[in-house]
Amino acid sequence: MKYQIGTVGRVVVARFEDKEDVLGNLGSIAKRENISAAAFYLVGGMREGKIVVGPEKDELPPIPVWRELGESHEVIGFGTIFHQNDEPKVHLHAAFGKKDAVKVGCLRENASTFLVLEAVIIELSGIYAVREFDPVSGLNILNL
């Protein structure tokens, strides 16, 4: 285990409107505000998105299992933002619900808002961490 201790910096509250790019907007805010480490919460609606719902088998490197939202869903999520190659890299895990069905996974592609989505971004000051490609796992992992 590796860890660092930091403090809470600025707090950003954002509202994404219908059909806006969720992952892109989170990255844009981090870049514009020069945020290199953050945690964030999301609540609202997603129109579409591609999520990873786990690996096919428990082996390295993992082969991801993909699912598409394909229509509006309620969403509640938590994620982090750390830089990778000097750019903000968003990592979000969330629950997506529609009627009686719920999907949980890592949102990675084609993420757009349905009606409105709220984000609360909490800057982490004094944390020096980056995402780097790990050839063993094939993933971009946090390096402290």
Indicate which CATH number applies to the domain containing 103.
3.30.1330.80
Q: Is residue 121 in a domain?
A: yes
Q: Is residue 77 in a domain?
A: yes
* Mean pLDDT for the stretch of residues 90-114: 96
Which residue range forms the structural domain that includes residue 79? 10-143
Q: Is residue 75 in a domain?
A: yes
* Mean pLDDT for the stretch of residues 115-136: 97
Domain count, the chain: 1
Secondary structure of the chain: what % helix, strand, coil (to 5)? 10, 65, 25
Q: Is residue 1 in a domain?
A: no
Q: Is residue 2 in a domain?
A: no
Per the listing, tokens 């201790």 go with 5
Q: Is residue 5 in a domain?
A: no
Task: Measure the CA–CA gap between 126 and 62, rounded to whole angstroms.
Answer: 32
pLDDT digits (tens, 9 = 90+) for 36-95: 999 999 999 999 999 999 999 999 999 999 999 989 999 999 999 999 999 999 999 999
pLDDT of the residue at 118 = 98
Q: Is residue 94 in a domain?
A: yes
Q: Give the ranges where the chain is alpha helix by DSSP (H).
A: 22-32
The whole model's pTM is what?
0.95
DSSP string, 96-123: EEETTEEEEEEEEEEEEEEEEEEEEEEE
